[in-house]
Structure 1
Amino acid sequence: MASDDRHDSAPDLRILGDRITLQPSGFVEPEPGTVGEDGREQALMKNMARFRSEPWRFLREVSLYVSGTGWRAYDHVIGQPIFYSGFSEHIKTQVMSATLLQTKISQLAEMRVAVEEKEGLLNKNDKDFATQRAQRRAVLVQSLQEVAENLTDNMICKFESKPFIRGAYYMVTQLLLRAYHQGIHVSSEEVLRLRKVAEEAEKKKQSIIFLPCHRSHVDYVSLQLLCYRLGLALPVVVSGDNLNFPIVGSFLQHAGAMYIRRSFGDDQLYTTLVQAYIDVMLQGGYNLECFIEGGRSRTGKLLPPKFGILNFVLDSLLSGRVEDAIVCPVSTQYDKVIETEGYVSELLGVPKKKENLADFLSGGSSVLSLRLGRVDVRFHEPWSLRGFVNDQITRHSKMPSVINVNWRDTKNQYVRQKLLRSLGYKVLADINAVSVVMPTALIGTVLLTLRGRGVGRAELVRRVEWLTARVRAKGGRVAHFGNAPLSDVIERGLGVLGKDLVGVVEGLAEPTYYAVDRFQLSFYRNMTIHLFISEALVAAALYMRVKQGGGPAIQDISYRDLHDQVFFLSSLFRGEFIYSGEGLVVNLERTLLGLEADNVILIERDEMRNITKVGISAAERAAGRENYDFYCFLIWPFIEASWLAAVSLMGLSPPLGYKDDIWVQVSKAQNSAQLLGKTLYHQGDLSYFEAVNKETLKNSYQRFEEEGMIQIIKSKDARIPPRLRIAPEWRPMRDEKTGSLLASGRLWDFTEKIASSRREGKNRRDGATVSTRVLKLTDELGRKLFDEAVRLEEAKGKGSAPVRLSYEEERSLRRSMREQKRKRSLDGRAHL
């Protein structure tokens, strides 16, 4: 398994404690005593000593950090000056004096004075009215200034003390690398490139905006450690204020965290304050780190981009307040993610606990005893944000459009939204492009894409080898294996995953491995799915015919039917996966040709060489459909989740005796869908327990809202949770006598279209089962939703919300529906 692939050609820079080692491509650390002195890698710095084994050397190392000797002083970093006394006050002064903020404070004060005039609190007939008005306005301005100063102080990062950051680096490195005992790896080629870019950015006083994926709290820790050790100015990390709890919050703030609210609401002052702070950082050339997905991914794959901070950054650029900034997408991959057990609980419906010091300390102490392998950080080639914007404007200006838009008018909201969306998805694509597939992800993927209860050691090795080759063929990167036997690499990966995820049956003809916790293991499988999403969609579309059984001729599918189902599925999962920007026809043809070259499918063509029919090849059938099944197994859990979400919508049809205008809480509807899924799984009507994943169900509901299938209203009153109802044109019919849901209509047809690519299980058959027992269960759960909503409102009980809309909410709904319709028309994307 020695790697000679171009994607794996750059050596690693291994950071482990105080040691930095430049390793050749594919290096795997040998066991002690197995390699002679001449064969060992040359460490550029000595190991950090342990107190128990080398107390005097340990004390000397600590003194080097305390005194700031050599590189530990952090004196000659690439970037703008940070970590000096008075830094925070300097930044705060710049934020508070920003023209943008002062203008907004004046506007808000003026608006409040106008309200008080209207309400008669200021009498225009008083002879000294002008003086009173000016005094009142001055008081309001002063009050808003004080509020803004307090908010700024709580928000901004505080790069004040070098002794602090030296000590923090030492402590955090020791803690992190006890858990990830094999260190942090990066590509030396990427690091050298990044340093060169940073040097140019420093000269131009430009910021580097690091945009990493987000799977763990370790993400920002590892990037800060890398920047510190490589001599780059630490980035200011955008963090949710949920992390700003006693002791830890202050520690993180002095190490680079800036805290912002999860939701800004209609708070104009706070919104402008965040914009002013972003402006100050970008104008000053300070580095910035923001997680493109917003929160941590609980599923293992990339989440759709969140545009909050990106919107502020783009506004700084488009407004002309900032000339340019450098964007650097970052991928952080793990052998094992610390938080996966907690993620599983959340995804199964257990409410997320608020962060606190007790959990932080207890969780941290338990992590120290773990051996979680290594962390791989990869930096995409940085690029100019100004250059990206200019390229997008030029490209869109040349493209034919159904609407008349001046793409050079960057104040136009439609233009801005297009630029913002393109920016977000480009970053995600860049992250996927440099992501490294870890051995644990390969093992998890293989175990969850094979039929049967378990897999023997030899078969596991064979399929991991096949998957490794497929990852590289798709342009992906695999963690460096070096000359170590693949069986050893797999053994290491199994050890990291542990017996709680992967079990082994001993005493057989050969060790046989099986997935113990499929739900948690799916986190690692999802780390590879982005590479094969096109093949998975084609396989699922072809499955419409394959599941019908019969001979090969019966299972073939026409190109038109295949195209239509791939079109439908790709649109259905638009919020789940990142697609190539070349369009469906180009992607589909390239995918079909690739599968044909791999001898997975057989393609029939007409005399003009146009594809007319597609089927599974004879060679693939002879091999037990193992490669075709692999692609199906990747996508089936997501198809089941979307099917489950669509079935749950059937229950949102008001029961007989209820009016059509009853609204139920979004969270309760989604909880009901999850309960339905758990029930169907244990009754055999659902093949994958991962389908009850709360994150995937939420994504499906969001997709349904985008298509106008459901309508969601959000009240201005924060105490009233979002509510929904099924759109009238999608509402299923009921039997007039019995009140039972009828298996017909637009929503039923939509659900059946998803089901046509759904896995046919051993314990159930689609069609009759769904239209009777499953539909009845859905209806019963739906009735409970309506009954509870009405009962709670009448009793004014805890958790109650109005079941009908106010006049203002109705107006807001109509505006929202018009805007969504307009957006769907302007976007011109595939619709369900």
Structure 2
Amino acid sequence: MAHPSDEYLDLLEPRRRQYDISFALKHTASLLPEYQYVTHMSKAEIRTMVLKSRRLKHTVEELVASQNCEEKEVFAEAETILDEMAHNFTLNNIRFLAYLFSKAFKRLYGHIYVNKSGLEKLRKSYRDSPVVLLPTHRSYVDFLLISYMMFEYNLPLPYIAAGADFNNMKFVNTILRFAGAFYIRRSFGSDKLYWAIFTEYVQILVINGEAPLEFFIEGTRSRTGKFLPPKRGLLQVVVEPFMKGRVPDISLIPISISYDRILEETLHSREMLGIPKPKESTSGLFKASSIFQENFGNIMVHLGDPVSLKQMSLISGVDRSVHSLAPRFIFSMNAQEQQFVQELCLSVQLMQQRHMAVSPWVLSATLLAMSPGYQTSLHNMYRDMEWLKGAAVGLGTKLNWPVGKMVQSVFEEQLAVHRAMVVVDGDNIRLNAPRKVATAEEVMTAATVYIMLGAYRNHLLPSLAQPALVSLAFCGLSAATKDELLAQYQFLVTLFNRELTFHPKTTIDDFQSTVRRLQSSSVISVTGLQYSITSSGERLISFLCSLLHPFLLGYWVVCRYLLSCPCSLDSVTEQSLAKTIQKEIASLIAAGDLKIYDILSLNLLCNAILSLVQLGGIKRSKSGWMLIEVEISKTADKISEYIELPASLLTKLFAKKLAGPAAKL
């Protein structure tokens, strides 16, 4: 990519030239853009509006009738919920945080780059409609960074939907609330009172348009370097006022935040191994202060083009007139609108993915993960990085490579950031992990750094997933017809529906455009109806297949386990079943029958189980889960067409077979 200074502003560069106190006390009010139909409300006025809303009154009446309780008791509970939820935004506290964050960010990061064009388009968006900021979510830093960035560039600071677990952090929860955070429970499914208050509160913030709303469509942080399947719940609440004509439009702003190194990388890896994350607490925050002695590289922030909800609804053919006769205070989203919101989530996520900047370290981590024994020579690393750099950029990867710098120089810079992950010994580089493990317990202890390495490799998936799926579609053959490739591709899309982001309306178009791209790059050629891998494209095809190899192997192992597990499994969940399979995998690694640690990830194992539900290998019913052996076996056989399985696995793995075609879980 071009040097960041050509297209991006460095958020920290002015801070290194100016006193932090001067920055924090700057005058901003007259510089802020404003929504043309803005309604200014104090915190007390918003509280009163929620408590007196027809939505809440209607819900309270329903609860009083159904639960035979006093109206004043329900309203008292409503007040408690609202007080726990509501923000307490004050500018003085924002100034304190601006001072604090300036100190922190300058210690942690070298540069924080923000694209100029995105800032300009965002500023223009505020006049015509309420604005909703939709950042990617990889770190707790995300929402702090967005607010800091808005303060720096004289833009309205957002109201931030934050998880209620932050409310447990004394002092910090108050500071975040002062910064505009409002706290919501992770789940509140059938709690009608909470749902009514939450919906009314969020929609008032959106309709007033006084400040943008900010939330994460992934719902929570991704711990794996991949994108989580988007959740539509909060976006539905945001979209409904537009559907009912309460706002003329809403501008959605996809924001891509790319880190050289994530603050919580070790914590995330441990969570993927089943080690519970520590509860958020103020004491835990201060214990983590040692991070200020470390180097976390740079951050790239890309503000995407505003997405007009009005235009998207017109393109999708959503009929808003169906709401004209229904009371506005009753939340209603019909099936067509729910499908529209789900597809909108996917569209926003794909926009986020297109602008994720890949660090050079991702190339190094990927090559190291694919090297035998997780080690290679520096000579090979430099040579292969040069090749992968060209290949990745050629396939559309947005690589954050410093202009004019040689591979060795860039690698050494990245090594300074990630020095704890690897060991350089003379001309060799290897993963900083035990050479030998003898027990399953030792495997789990050693696995953290392997999972971390895999998470960096996963940063390549958004840009390389489509060509990787087409590469796998050849099934190890040198040639195939287009229809054969498409059939294989569609199976893989279904299989990896929770690992990768696919839009249901563009599957065939995505396949065709990817084939054309590989053809124009001379990776594949076409003769008549036959598609063939060229000799010059063999290396790239092999690399792309290897990129998805850990997922295929993990899914195959899950299938084989389910085909051999005891029939007496009762009342299991995806998580508990995944942990059981994880223990089996750890034993296989300790015995030397498996070499790939990635498949210990509970995220991968849970996704494999849920994928089998979608493929018909597992059926859910009121009486429990049913394993459909025929379908699971078919999936396992299909996966084995794409990868070469270790011979020892075929003879040793899970020898006990199920007795019949179906077993109750």
Q: Shared fold by TM > 0.5?
A: yes
Match of residue 328 from structure 1: 253
1:775 aligns with 2:632: no
**Secondary structure of residue in 2 paired with 1:490:** helix
Q: Which structure: larger Rg? A: 1
In 2, Cα distance between equivalents of 1:713 and 1:378: 44
Change (3 A) 1:344 1:412: closer
Change (3 A) 1:235 1:617: same
Of residues 553, 559, 570, the one that matches 1:646 is: 559
State whether residues 215 and 297 of structure 1, in contact with CA within 8 Å, keep that contact through their aligned partners in structure 2: yes
1:751 aligns with 2:649: no
Match of residue 189 from structure 1: 117
State whether residues 165 and 280 of structure 2, in contact with CA within 8 Å, keep that contact through their aligned partners in structure 1: yes
Query: Displacement, 1:708?
Result: 4.2
- Amino acid aligned to 1:725: W
Match of residue 424 from structure 2: 504
Match of residue 3 from structure 1: 2
5 Å-filtered alignment, 1:281-360, equals: 281-285=205-209, 286-360=211-285
Change (3 A) 1:283 1:486: same
Match of residue 52 from structure 1: none
In 1, Cα distance between equivalents of 2:146 and 2:462: 23
Of residues 494, 519, 524, the one that matches 2:451 is: 519
Match of residue 445 from structure 2: none
**Secondary structure of residue in 1 paired with 2:194:** helix
1:47 aligns with 2:43: no
Match of residue 76 from structure 2: 146
Match of residue 677 from structure 1: 585
Match of residue 808 from structure 1: none
Q: Deviations over 1:310-337 (max 9, x none)?
A: 1211223223344321100001111100
Match of residue 440 from structure 2: none
Query: Displacement, 1:688?
Result: 1.9
**Percent identity over paired residues:** 24
- Amino acid aligned to 2:17: N
Query: Displacement, 1:176?
Result: 2.6
Match of residue 438 from structure 2: none
Query: Displacement, 1:695?
Result: 0.8
Match of residue 185 from structure 2: 261
Change (3 A) 1:211 1:684: same
In 2, Cα distance between equivalents of 1:558 and 1:80: 55
State whether residues 447 and 514 of structure 1, in contact with CA within 8 Å, keep that contact through their aligned partners in structure 2: yes
Change (3 A) 1:370 1:453: closer
Match of residue 435 from structure 1: 356
Of residues 593, 599, 602, the one that matches 1:694 is: 602
Match of residue 175 from structure 2: 251
State whether residues 448 and 633 of structure 1, in contact with CA within 8 Å, keep that contact through their aligned partners in structure 2: no
State whether residues 494 and 611 of structure 2, in contact with CA within 8 Å, keep that contact through their aligned partners in structure 1: no
Q: Deviations over 1:114-154 (max 9, x none)?
A: xxxxxxxxxxxxxxxxxxxxxx7xxx222222211111111
Query: Displacement, 1:388?
Result: 1.3
Query: Displacement, 1:776?
Result: 2.1
State whether residues 79 and 232 of structure 1, in contact with CA within 8 Å, keep that contact through their aligned partners in structure 2: no
Larger deviation, residues 351-360 vs 680-689:
680-689
Query: Displacement, 1:666?
Result: 3.7
In 2, Cα distance between equivalents of 1:666 and 1:478: 36
Query: Displacement, 1:712?
Result: 4.7
In 2, Cα distance between equivalents of 1:541 and 1:683: 32
Change (3 A) 1:319 1:778: farther
Q: Deviations over 1:808-831 (max 9, x none)?
A: xxxxxxxxxxxxxxxxxxxxxxxx
5 Å-filtered alignment, 1:597-616, equals: 597-605=520-528, 611-614=529-532, 616=533
In 1, Cα distance between equivalents of 2:196 and 2:571: 34
Aligned residues: 634
**Secondary structure of residue in 1 paired with 2:268:** helix
Q: Deviations over 1:747-772 (max 9, x none)?
A: 212211112212434xx26xxx53x5
5 Å-filtered alignment, 1:789-804, equals: none
In 2, Cα distance between equivalents of 1:272 and 1:613: 56
Of residues 148, 159, 162, the one that matches 1:239 is: 162
Match of residue 225 from structure 1: 148
Match of residue 533 from structure 1: 465
In 1, Cα distance between equivalents of 2:268 and 2:656: 28
Q: Deviations over 1:178-204 (max 9, x none)?
A: 112x13111112212222223x24xxx
Query: Displacement, 1:225?
Result: 0.6
In 2, Cα distance between equivalents of 1:46 and 1:750: 57
- Amino acid aligned to 2:46: I
Change (3 A) 1:674 1:756: same
Match of residue 107 from structure 2: 178
- Amino acid aligned to 1:143: E
Query: Displacement, 1:522?
Result: 1.3
State whether residues 269 and 451 of structure 2, in contact with CA within 8 Å, keep that contact through their aligned partners in structure 1: yes
In 2, Cα distance between equivalents of 1:311 and 1:582: 20
Change (3 A) 1:582 1:456: farther
In 1, Cα distance between equivalents of 2:32 and 2:605: 46
Of residues 48, 63, 73, the one that matches 1:108 is: 63
State whether residues 87 and 158 of structure 1, in contact with CA within 8 Å, keep that contact through their aligned partners in structure 2: no
Match of residue 464 from structure 1: 385
5 Å-filtered alignment, 1:414-429, equals: 414-429=335-350
- Amino acid aligned to 1:187: N
Query: Displacement, 1:260?
Result: 0.6
State whether residues 554 and 605 of structure 2, in contact with CA within 8 Å, keep that contact through their aligned partners in structure 1: yes
- Amino acid aligned to 2:653: V
In the superposition, the TM-score normalised over structure 1's length comes to: 0.71
Query: Displacement, 1:301?
Result: 1.4
State whether residues 471 and 541 of structure 2, in contact with CA within 8 Å, keep that contact through their aligned partners in structure 1: yes
Query: Displacement, 1:453?
Result: 5.1
In 1, Cα distance between equivalents of 2:102 and 2:153: 14
State whether residues 9 and 115 of structure 2, in contact with CA within 8 Å, keep that contact through their aligned partners in structure 1: yes
**Secondary structure of residue in 1 paired with 2:584:** helix
State whether residues 653 and 726 of structure 1, in contact with CA within 8 Å, keep that contact through their aligned partners in structure 2: no
1:14 aligns with 2:10: yes
Match of residue 439 from structure 2: none
State whether residues 670 and 698 of structure 1, in contact with CA within 8 Å, keep that contact through their aligned partners in structure 2: yes
In 1, Cα distance between equivalents of 2:657 and 2:294: 43
Match of residue 443 from structure 2: none
**Secondary structure of residue in 2 paired with 1:437:** coil
**Secondary structure of residue in 2 paired with 1:475:** coil
In 2, Cα distance between equivalents of 1:283 and 1:408: 19
Match of residue 26 from structure 1: none
Q: Deviations over 1:279-307 (max 9, x none)?
A: 10011103111111111101101111011
Change (3 A) 1:272 1:377: same
**Secondary structure of residue in 2 paired with 1:590:** helix
In 2, Cα distance between equivalents of 1:706 and 1:350: 28
5 Å-filtered alignment, 1:809-820, equals: none
Match of residue 88 from structure 1: 43
**Secondary structure of residue in 1 paired with 2:132:** strand
- Amino acid aligned to 1:151: I
Of residues 86, 92, 98, the one that matches 1:169 is: 98
Return 5+ residue gaps in structure 1 as ranges: 21-44, 50-60, 114-135, 395-405, 546-554, 606-610, 715-722, 733-744, 781-785, 787-802, 805-832
**Secondary structure of residue in 2 paired with 1:47:** coil
**Secondary structure of residue in 2 paired with 1:305:** coil
In 2, Cα distance between equivalents of 1:603 and 1:288: 49
**Secondary structure of residue in 2 paired with 1:680:** helix
Query: Displacement, 1:489?
Result: 2.0
**Secondary structure of residue in 2 paired with 1:185:** strand
Match of residue 818 from structure 1: none
Query: Displacement, 1:724?
Result: 5.0
Match of residue 535 from structure 2: 618
Match of residue 299 from structure 2: 375
Query: Displacement, 1:46?
Result: 6.2
Query: Displacement, 1:171?
Result: 0.7
In the superposition, the TM-score normalised over structure 2's length comes to: 0.88
**CA RMSD of the aligned region, Å?**
3.0
